[in-house]
Structure 1
Amino acid sequence: MESTTINERIELLALQMKELLHPHVVDDVKLVQKGLMLYRQGLVKQLQIWNAQITAMVQDVTPCYVKLNFAFLASSECTCPNQGLCRHQMAVFFAAYARVGSVAEWVAEWREPMKEKNDVTNWGLQTAKDLIKANGVMKPDYRRWVESFEISFDTILNSKKYSSPFIIAELFNIYERRIRASAPVEQEWRLLYEMVGIIVSFKKLAVLTEDSGFAEDAVRRAYLSVFHNLIEDADDLVLKIGVQSLPFDFDEFILKLKDDVFELLTASTGLEQERVYLYRLLWTNLFKKKEWREQEILHINERMKTLKDWENPTPLMVAGIHISFLQQKDELALELIGKFDDEVITPYMLHWIDLLSQTKAWKRVGPLIELFSSKLKTYLDFLRTYHSCAAFTRSALKAIAPYISENGKAELYERALLATLPYSYTEYEFSLFERKQFEKWGDLQAFMGWSFYDLPRERVKVIEKEKPEVLLGMLHQSALNEINQKNRSSYKAAVRHLKKLRTLYKKIKRVDDWQYFLDNLMEKTKRLRAFHEECRRSKLIEE
């Protein structure tokens, strides 16, 4: 709420009031009338609008002090004895609303169901409120559903230009409550109604986002979660729809929904991965007929031919690859993947790896993972930021793990680990240690730049016992790095490393090698008197 303007907060409060109060409830009608009377009589005094609340004094029979909370209307206060929303709070709301709009218009809109403009009326459309009354007696109508969603969306979210994106999520919640209130009573139709609502809402919100001109980072922080919630809701719905018996005329609705889902691919230029994810979700789990998938490929190809120079072909091309996988045309899908730059197609490949792994289609997923592994390094170089690279590496390793485990492809897994270093360090270190590949384990520590005393003590003890020579190189490097610091404390640290080196050389019976190294080191550092003093003090060399 802090990032919205005062006017936007008042407008949002006005919407909350409309949601809370019902014109057909006698008590609500009286409450609005009494609050309106107090406001029109000019009895609202000392009105102040703050970031979090509105405060005022209402000169009723007894003066009442009011606080209206923007974020939590239910926590608003009034010094009068009434519980909940009272006439004084309504009067203060009207006084504040008068600064951004017409109180008379607000009351008129609240008293009567929204009457659409003449052109909408001529189309024979109905508002969401009209549909609530009609659902019980009218046959489900796909186009009427879509039109009601669009009208409600435009009324609540498209009616004004917002200076801040942070109000969008709250307005969308109000919109969602309104359309859910008009859902059909019958379970099977309600599920489809909600699915249609998700697709329409997603497209409308994507277009609003593009038209608003909000910065991508601001959208991500303010309401990207709304899109992700819609995708999660769609995921739940396809599972529920899949396990129920469907009405005979359900296919007619699915065909129309299929066309609307196709529009996700070109509805806007932003939110590319979210749009494609929702598209793939429905084609995987809902649109399963062979002829539908054949027709969709033709539809994609036709749309590709009409793309303008400024339109991004990626969503359509990814959709074509997805349908090819669903048709089990894997060679074609892999060929199409090869036409993309690594930084574009790599994140989309995770979905297909998961899809084939879930059905244990190991022969099909193998070539896909091979191709995916070859693209990892380029994609991580493209991402650059450590957080993004680490997150994608976790997703990538998780995706290929079932195939690796089931088919014993340790070499392929190691290639993926190497390609994703340093972000895969933890997984690679564990894998090498468990397989007792201690020399590679030592090389990994050197690659990461760890010093000997950075290493886990438990690991060092095991390696010191089973393969002590692995630690020699690291100790050599650590000691030299400390000597090069050229100060007393680093010389002391270097001596500790050297004494450990001496112990290991004796353990592996290479005392001559140790002596040769030490003699050379003392010669090279003969000008570093303080270092030689520390060596003598620790009895590393003789006085």
Structure 2
Amino acid sequence: MRLDEKLHAAFEQQLGNHVSGTIIKRGWSYYKDGHVQNAQETVHDTLTGIVRGTDLYAVVMDAEHFGYSTCTCPFDGYCKHMVAVYFQYCADALGGEPAAEQSYFRLLGLVPASTLAKRGNSEESRGEEISDLGEEGSALEWLTWMEGEYGETWRKCRHSLHALQPVLSGLKGLSKDWDTKRRRLHWSAAIMFVLEQAERAINTVDSFSRYYHEMSFLRMAEPWIEHLHTLAGELEPASMSDAERAWCDELIGRMKARALLMERQLFEWGYIYLSFCEKLSADPIWHKRELDSLLSELGMPHAGERNDSFLHAAIGMLYFLRNEDEKSLHYFAQGAFERIQKLIYPCVAQRMEEGSWESAESWMAFLYERVYQNRNARNIGPFMALCRRADTDRPELPLWNDYMTELLPYSYTELSEHWLNLQRYEDWADLQMFLGVKAEEIDAAAMREVAKAAPQVLLPLYHQSVDSAIASRNRQGYRLAVKQLKKLEKLYKSTKESAKWDGYLAELVSKNQRLRALQEELWKGKIIT
């Protein structure tokens, strides 16, 4: 058995992210010296192996979730035995030691000697020159090198992004032993580069199949983008050196340039840009400089098309980070709501979390106006989540319930669940009646909960359901009516109102005495005798 190609590439990336260069080199030595006695892929995408060291050690590596990988050796962390098993697996499953060697060099970000031997003198010189960039190279210099070395990889990505995975692993390996802060920035640049390559690749796809390729590319790139956001969240602006700040500025400038393009893009560069801005805005000097830059950009004339919606959203976000909500709302209002709403919802949630309810009300009014104008399931869901949270935290304010009810029927599911969670059973039952929801259409678990806690509120619901079933004038409807009558009888008894049940049933039978089929079903169901 062997790992799926996509999973194998992702697994190698995780191995490269979690294991230091020193451990990788030791693992390679263990593999080369024949210490691995067994390595194979078993069920559930798991690699297992036995390695002889000071003792025999058993290795289990989860290819999908590397964090669950283990080794029985005493080393605390990811060890050389795991790496050795991986190399042995590559050799066994992918074509012998050359395959293992390729993986080894990718993990370290190096070029195999066999590859160098095939290059011309000019390329060899270029490789030596570029390898001297190291930690001293700037973001622009590194991105220029990446373009020169791997800038044609997108041509191999006509149907998938698999060709970019080893490129990313190799690029990350180049800075594996750097200082943590500089390595974080280098990895950010590497991810940006492969994302740009992916976008160049998608533009070669014909329009007929573009949608399907986009879905495939986005799934493949999802862990890369997630890692990029994680790297942004780990930035430490308070302790950055001038060189690190320069790296950040170059990366952010590149993200901003892509976000300003009006052409259709595969990735949401504006959100990536703002994830870096959110962290760096902890430095007030940087924040002011970036905000002034955006405002200046917005005020400048430009040739061709420019994504002004992104500019308005970015300015609005930076004002939000400075707690200037009025200005923030002003700029958000000028952007296309369908493009910026994902930015606004977290802003409102943050104000609620901070207890800034006056600001939260302003944000919610802003959202409601636009959600109401564009009522659909995609817009309603996030807004309803905010309404539910607000109503839970500040139930004395009727505003939240007003929003939720005015959005009916689109808000029915969320509102019904909300009132049920708050044990507002009478409001919940009134909602079902108002929208004409029949008892048999409601979730059985919800009905059991209400029947146990507040059975009296269900009586009108079952009356309505029985009447509707009888009005169908067919045998199937009559059988449903009998089923609901049995439940209704139990409800009357649980509320100790048996006399009312008897009166209701007598009136029902008398009213429908001409419906012989109904009378038969009532008799069969032992409702009447």
Q: Does TM, scored on the shorter chain, surpass 0.5?
A: yes
SS at match of 2:268: helix
Letter in 1 for 2:117: R
Identity over aligned pairs, percent: 17
Q: Does 1:522 align with 2:522?
A: no
What are the residue-to-residue correspondences of 1:204-283 with 2, within 5 Å? 204-213=197-206, 215-242=209-236, 245-267=239-261, 269-271=263-265, 274-283=268-277
Give 1:244 shift: 7.9
Question: What residue in structure 1 maps to residue 12 of structure 2?
Answer: none
What are the residue-to-residue correspondences of 1:27-426 with 2, within 5 Å? 74=91, 76=93, 84-85=96-97, 111-112=117-118, 130-135=129-134, 139-155=136-152, 157-158=153-154, 160=155, 163-164=158-159, 166=160, 168=161, 170-183=162-175, 185-213=178-206, 215-242=209-236, 245-267=239-261, 269-271=263-265, 274-304=268-298, 305-307=300-302, 310-340=305-335, 342-356=337-351, 361-381=356-376, 389=378, 395-396=382-383, 405-408=392-395, 411-415=398-402, 417-418=404-405
Give 1:224 shift: 0.8
Letter in 1 for 2:164: F
Q: Is the contact between residue 535 and residue 541 of structure 1 (CA under 8 Å) also seen in structure 2?
A: yes
Bigger Cα displacement from structure 2, 285-294 vs 513-522: 513-522
Letter in 1 for 2:465: S
CA 1:397 to 1:73, structure 2 compared with 1: closer, same or farther past 3 Å? Answer: farther
Q: Is the contact between residue 404 and residue 415 of structure 2 (CA under 8 Å) also seen in structure 1?
A: yes
Deviations 1:397-417 (A, max 9, x none): 555666555544664544555
Letter in 2 for 1:186: D
Deviations 1:255-301 (A, max 9, x none): 33332232131246334772121111011102444344344344334
- Mapped to 1, the partners of 2:508 and 2:234 lie a distance apart of 73
CA 1:86 to 1:538, structure 2 compared with 1: closer, same or farther past 3 Å? Answer: closer
Give 1:334 shift: 1.4
SS at match of 1:270: coil
SS at match of 2:137: coil
CA RMSD of aligned residues (A): 4.6
Give 1:419 shift: 6.2
Q: Is the contact between residue 258 and residue 287 of structure 1 (CA under 8 Å) also seen in structure 2?
A: no
CA 1:307 to 1:229, structure 2 compared with 1: closer, same or farther past 3 Å? Answer: farther
CA 1:219 to 1:85, structure 2 compared with 1: closer, same or farther past 3 Å? Answer: same
Question: What residue in structure 1 maps to residue 36 of structure 2?
Answer: none
Q: Does 1:481 align with 2:500?
A: no
Letter in 2 for 1:132: S
Q: Is the contact between residue 313 and residue 335 of structure 2 (CA under 8 Å) also seen in structure 1?
A: no
- Mapped to 1, the partners of 2:221 and 2:273 lie a distance apart of 13
Letter in 1 for 2:213: V
CA 1:468 to 1:288, structure 2 compared with 1: closer, same or farther past 3 Å? Answer: closer
Give 1:109 shift: 6.0
- Mapped to 2, the partners of 1:334 and 1:134 lie a distance apart of 44
CA 1:312 to 1:252, structure 2 compared with 1: closer, same or farther past 3 Å? Answer: closer
CA 1:347 to 1:185, structure 2 compared with 1: closer, same or farther past 3 Å? Answer: closer
Give 1:456 shift: 5.7
Residue 481 of structure 2, aligned match among 494, 500, 523: 494
Letter in 1 for 2:310: P
Deviations 1:284-336 (A, max 9, x none): 10244434434434433454444566544322221121122123221122123
CA 1:531 to 1:174, structure 2 compared with 1: closer, same or farther past 3 Å? Answer: same
Aligned residue pair count:
432
Question: What residue in structure 1 maps to residue 53 of structure 2?
Answer: none
Listed as ranges, the gaps of 5+ residues in structure 2 are 1-5, 10-27, 29-88, 102-111
- Mapped to 2, the partners of 1:152 and 1:254 lie a distance apart of 22
TM-score normalised per structure 2: 0.65
Residue 470 of structure 1, aligned match among 457, 479, 499: 457
Q: Is the contact between residue 353 and residue 400 of structure 1 (CA under 8 Å) also seen in structure 2?
A: no
CA 1:275 to 1:449, structure 2 compared with 1: closer, same or farther past 3 Å? Answer: farther
Listed as ranges, the gaps of 5+ residues in structure 1 are 1-8, 13-24, 26-71, 79-83, 91-105, 384-388
CA 1:189 to 1:511, structure 2 compared with 1: closer, same or farther past 3 Å? Answer: closer
Question: What residue in structure 1 maps to residue 425 of structure 2?
Answer: 438
- Mapped to 1, the partners of 2:525 and 2:231 lie a distance apart of 72
- Mapped to 2, the partners of 1:186 and 1:464 lie a distance apart of 63
Q: Is the contact between residue 366 and residue 403 of structure 1 (CA under 8 Å) also seen in structure 2?
A: no
Q: Is the contact between residue 202 and residue 214 of structure 2 (CA under 8 Å) also seen in structure 1?
A: no
Q: Is the contact between residue 472 and residue 501 of structure 1 (CA under 8 Å) also seen in structure 2?
A: yes
Q: Is the contact between residue 206 and residue 268 of structure 1 (CA under 8 Å) also seen in structure 2?
A: no
- Mapped to 1, the partners of 2:257 and 2:268 lie a distance apart of 13
Letter in 1 for 2:273: Y
- Mapped to 1, the partners of 2:498 and 2:364 lie a distance apart of 42
SS at match of 2:316: helix
Q: Is the contact between residue 233 and residue 275 of structure 2 (CA under 8 Å) also seen in structure 1?
A: no
CA 1:485 to 1:141, structure 2 compared with 1: closer, same or farther past 3 Å? Answer: same
SS at match of 1:185: coil
- Mapped to 2, the partners of 1:193 and 1:471 lie a distance apart of 63
Letter in 1 for 2:259: L
- Mapped to 2, the partners of 1:398 and 1:310 lie a distance apart of 36
Q: Is the contact between residue 342 and residue 375 of structure 1 (CA under 8 Å) also seen in structure 2?
A: yes
SS at match of 1:241: coil
Bigger Cα displacement from structure 2, 415-424 vs 426-435: 415-424
Q: Is the contact between residue 238 and residue 283 of structure 2 (CA under 8 Å) also seen in structure 1?
A: no
CA 1:541 to 1:426, structure 2 compared with 1: closer, same or farther past 3 Å? Answer: same
Letter in 1 for 2:457: V
Determine which structure has more spread, i.e. the larger CA radius of gyration: 1
Letter in 2 for 1:178: G
- Mapped to 1, the partners of 2:526 and 2:93 lie a distance apart of 78
